[in-house]
Amino acid sequence: MSAPEERGALTPRPSLYSYALRLHRAEPEGRFPGKGYELPDPSEPKRQGSRSWAKTRAALTDLLGPLLLAPDPVRATERLQRQLSELTQAVRPGHIHRVVSELVLEDQARARALARCLTRAGSTSEAVCVGLSLLARLGEPEDVPYLRILGQLRVLVGPAVRALDAIDRPAGALVWLGHHAETSALRGLVDALAAGDDAAVRGWLLAVPREPGTVAPETARRIAEAVRAADLLAADGPVDAGLAAQTGWLLFRMTSLRGDWAEILLYPEAVRTYEAVVACAGDLTPTLDHYGILLSAALDLHSGPSRLHAWGPGVCEELLEELDAVLSRPEYRAVLHAEVGDAGDVGDTGSRPGTGPGIGGVAERRRIDWARRAARQPFRRLTEPAGRLRIETVVRDPVEPDTVEVRLLIDGRPLVPEFFGRGAAHPPEWLLDSGRLRATEEPHEVQLAEAHCTEGCCGALHVTIRRDGDEVVWSDWRCPPPPPSSPLHTRELPEYRFDAAAYDAEVTRAESDHSWTWPARRVARLIAVGLRDRPELLSRWDVRLGWAGTDFRDRDRTALSLLYAGEDGSSRHHLWHIPDDGTAPKERAAAVLHRLATVDPRTYGS
C-alpha cells in the first residue's frame, strides 16, 4: 500500500480510493467536483432495526477492539468489511467517528496500519469511514494525498475533512470548499488552490462576494484556512490593502453568532491572522468599509469570542492600542462626520469597487450611525482597572443582520461562548432592562442564553444569582452538553463569587448605558418599560407582550409581538410594526402606549 495509485484487492469490488482517483484524474486540470462524486454502486439501504445507540456503540466497540491489535491489516480489513455488512442497523459516519474517538489504542502502529489499509483498499463506505476516523487520531502527512482523493466522494467528505483537519488544515479546508463552494468566485478559488496557482488564489480571494448571506461563518473560516490568510498578509513585499480588508472581513464573519457557536473558536490561526490584519491596518485607505472592518475587529478583541484563544500576556491590549491609533487619525475621524455619500464607497475594499456589503443611502447611513455609537466602546477601558465581572452590550456592524447581545466577561473571558455552544447571550432588554442580573437576598434563576431552536429543543444556559454577605454568587448552573461538533468540551461550570459593591456598580452601569441604541430600538425599550409599569394596558384586552424590538429586515422599524387567544381558544400571534414617523423616540413610544390604552390591539393591522 505504498503508491497512491494502488488498487485495492481485498474483494472483487474496487476500492473506493481507486474509484475516486479514476474520477479525479478525468477532471480537467485536476479540479474538485462540485458537490462530490456518488458511490460507484450504491447498495440498498440497510433495514432500520430497533437497536438503540447504546447497543450500536457497544456492537461497534466489540467489533473494532480486537481488529486494532491484529498483526495482518489486510485480513483485519476483510473481516471488518464482512462484519459491518452483517449489521442489521445502518451505521452512520457520525456514529463511527464517535465510537472510534473513544477507543483505547493500545498499539498505535497496528491501528495506523489498519487505518491505512481501510482507507486505501476498503470497498465499502462504512469500512473506509472507520479508517478515516482512525486517521483523525493517528494520521501523518503521508496520508494527506489519499484523504484528499477520498474526500471527493460525497458520503465521505465529513470523515475525510475531520482527518485532514488533524494533519493538514489547509488541505481539509480545500476539500470542504470543494463540496460547499457555490458562487463562481468560490469555485474559481477552489480551482486555483487545487492547481497551486498563487496569483490566481489572490485574485479569486479578492473576488469573493460580501453581500449578506453569500458567505456563511464556516465558509469564511474554511476560506481563511485554505488560503493560509496569515501567511498571505505576512509575505514579503508591499502591503496588499485589498487582501488585508478581505481577511478582516473573513474574521468578522467568523465571529458571527447567528449559528450555534462562533467559528472563530475553530480557527487555530486566529491570533496570527488578527496580528497580520492589525499590522496592515495603517495602510488601508480611510473608507467607511475599512472603518467598519477595523472597528469590528476591535470589538471582538475587546469582548468577543476571539478572547478565548491563547493570547500572550498583553497581546490583545497591544492590538487594541494599534487599532485605536489608526481609527483616531484625522482622516478616519472624518469618515464618521461625513454626510451620507461622502464617507467613501460602502463597498470599497481598497482594491476594487462594488464588492462590499451594498451601496445605498440607507445602508450607508445605518453603518455610519453604528460606527459613531460604537467608535469608543472597545477603547474606553484600556486604561481602567478591569473588574472581575464586565458587562458589555455590543451591536454588530449592520452589514450583517442585526445581532445585539449582552457579553458577560468573567476575569476577561466571555462566559457564554466559552461554555454554551448553542447560541448567543440574550439581548439587553432581557437581561438588563428587566433587572434580572441584580442580586438580592432571595436566590433567583436567570436564563443567560437560549439555543436558537428554543430551550425545549436544545437547551439554555441558566444560573442562580444570590447575595451572600458582602459577595454575590453565581452558582447552580444548568447547561446542556455542547453539540458533538462544537469546539467546546463538556465540563462543569464553577461557582463564581464577586465583591458585592463592585458587582452592583457594574450591573447599574450596564443598565444605565443606552449609548448602543438607535431610535427604533429605543422606542421598543420605552414601550416595554411602559407596559411593565402599566400591565393593564394589555391585560384589559387579554393580550400579553411576547417581545419588543426591531424588525429583523428593517432595523429602523419597531416591532411588537402580541400574543392572545383566538375565538376557538387557539394561540394567536400578531406582529405589530411601528414605522419611523420622524418624531422623537419618547413621543413615538407615548403614542403607541396611548393607542394600546384606547384601541383593542387584536384589531390592528400589521
Q: pLDDT tens digits, residue range 195-227? A: 999 999 999 999 999 988 899 999 999 999 999
Q: What are phi and psi of 383, to 5 degrees?
A: -100, 0
**One domain, residues 71 and 209:** no
Would you say residue 8 has pLDDT above 80?
Answer: no
The predicted pLDDT at position 525 comes to 95
**One domain, residues 396 and 380:** no
Query: Which residues, other chains included, contact 233 with Cβ-Cβ below 8 Å and sequence gap of 6+?
Result: 239, 240, 243, 244, 247, 273, 276, 277, 279, 280
Asked whether 592 and 578 are in contact (CB, 8 A), the reply is yes
* Domain assignment of residue 545, yes or no: yes
* Domain assignment of residue 555, yes or no: yes
Would you say residue 532 has pLDDT above 70?
Answer: yes
Mean pLDDT on 348-358: 39
Rounded distance between C-alpha atoms, residue 8 and residue 18, angstroms: 7
Question: What does each C-alpha distance from 464 to 392, 407, 412, 443, 448 come to in angstroms?
Answer: 20, 18, 21, 6, 10
Question: What does each C-alpha distance from 595 to 469, 529, 556, 592, 605 come to in angstroms?
Answer: 46, 16, 20, 5, 13
Residue range 12-59, pLDDT digits in tens? 678 999 999 999 999 888 889 888 999 987 654 554 555 677 888 888
* Domain assignment of residue 534, yes or no: yes
- Interhelix angle 315-327/330-337, rounded to 10 degrees, is 70
**Domain boundary, last residue among 167, 196, 229:** 167
**One domain, residues 404 and 495:** yes
Would you say residue 518 has pLDDT above 90?
Answer: yes
* Domain assignment of residue 176, yes or no: no
Would you say residue 132 has pLDDT above 90?
Answer: yes
Residue range 61-107, pLDDT digits in tens? 999 999 999 999 999 999 999 999 888 677 888 889 999 999 999 99
Question: What does each C-alpha distance from 183 to 178, 179, 277 come to in angstroms?
Answer: 11, 12, 25
**Domain boundary, last residue among 112, 133, 167:** 167
DSSP structural state of residue 410: E
Query: Which residues, other chains included, contact 45 with Cβ-Cβ below 8 Å and sequence gap of 6+?
Result: 90
Of 552, 519, 576, 520, which is closest to residue 258 (Cα–Cα)?
552
Mean pLDDT on 475-495: 82
From the centroid of its chain, how far is CA 593?
38
Residue range 271-313, pLDDT digits in tens? 999 999 999 999 999 999 999 999 999 999 999 999 999 999 9
The predicted pLDDT at position 199 comes to 94
**One domain, residues 486 and 541:** no
**One domain, residues 210 and 346:** yes
* Domain assignment of residue 173, yes or no: no
Residue range 492-505, pLDDT digits in tens? 899 999 999 999 99
Residue whose C-alpha cell is 458582602: 470
The predicted pLDDT at position 400 comes to 83
Rounded distance between C-alpha atoms, residue 114 and residue 70, angstroms: 8
Query: Which residues, other chains included, contact 130 with Cβ-Cβ below 8 Å and sequence gap of 6+?
Result: 64, 80, 84, 96, 100, 115, 118
Asked whether 425 and 449 are in contact (CB, 8 A), the reply is yes
**One domain, residues 338 and 320:** yes
Rounded distance between C-alpha atoms, residue 148 and residue 213, angstroms: 28
**One domain, residues 143 and 193:** no
The predicted pLDDT at position 44 comes to 47
Max intra-chain CA distance, the chain: 84
Mean pLDDT on 553-570: 91
**Domain boundary, last residue among 384, 408, 432:** 384
57 by Cβ neighbours in 10 Å (0-12 / 13-18 / 19+) ranks as: middle
Query: Which residues, other chains included, contact 93 with Cβ-Cβ below 8 Å and sequence gap of 6+?
Result: 125, 129, 155, 156, 158, 159
pTM of the predicted model, to two decimals? 0.90
Would you say residue 462 has pLDDT above 70?
Answer: yes
Mean pLDDT on 429-447: 95
Per DSSP, the three-state class of 545 is strand
Residue whose C-alpha cell is 489572490: 202
**One domain, residues 380 and 398:** no
Query: Which residues, other chains included, contact 81 with Cβ-Cβ below 8 Å and sequence gap of 6+?
Result: 10, 11, 122, 123, 124, 126, 127
Mean pLDDT on 509-524: 95
Structural domains in the chain (count): 4
**One domain, residues 481 and 463:** yes
**One domain, residues 421 and 285:** no
Rounded distance between C-alpha atoms, residue 22 and residue 17, angstroms: 9
Residue whose C-alpha cell is 453565581: 474
The predicted pLDDT at position 526 comes to 96
Rounded distance between C-alpha atoms, residue 131 and residue 138, angstroms: 10
Residue range 379-410, pLDDT digits in tens? 986 555 567 999 999 999 998 876 799 999 99
List the grid coordinates of 279.
499590522
- The amino acid at residue 554 is D
* Domain assignment of residue 345, yes or no: yes
**One domain, residues 376 and 395:** no
Rounded distance between C-alpha atoms, residue 232 and residue 229, angstroms: 5
Question: What does each C-alpha distance from 177 to 69, 174, 222, 232, 508 come to in angstroms?
Answer: 36, 5, 7, 19, 47
* Domain assignment of residue 172, yes or no: no
Residue range 141-165, pLDDT digits in tens? 999 999 999 999 999 999 999 999 9
Rounded distance between C-alpha atoms, residue 290 and residue 280, angstroms: 11
- The amino acid at residue 15 is S
Of 126, 67, 115, 118, which is closest to residue 92 (Cα–Cα)?
126
Percent pLDDT > 90 in the chain is 74
**One domain, residues 397 and 376:** no
Average pLDDT in the chain = 89
Residue whose C-alpha cell is 509575505: 235
The predicted pLDDT at position 5 comes to 42
DSSP structural state of residue 261: S
2 by Cβ neighbours in 10 Å (0-12 / 13-18 / 19+) ranks as: exposed
Range of the domain at 377: 181-384
The predicted pLDDT at position 351 comes to 37
Residue range 230-279, pLDDT digits in tens? 999 998 788 899 999 999 999 999 999 776 678 999 999 999 999 999 99
Residue range 162-171, pLDDT digits in tens? 999 999 999 9
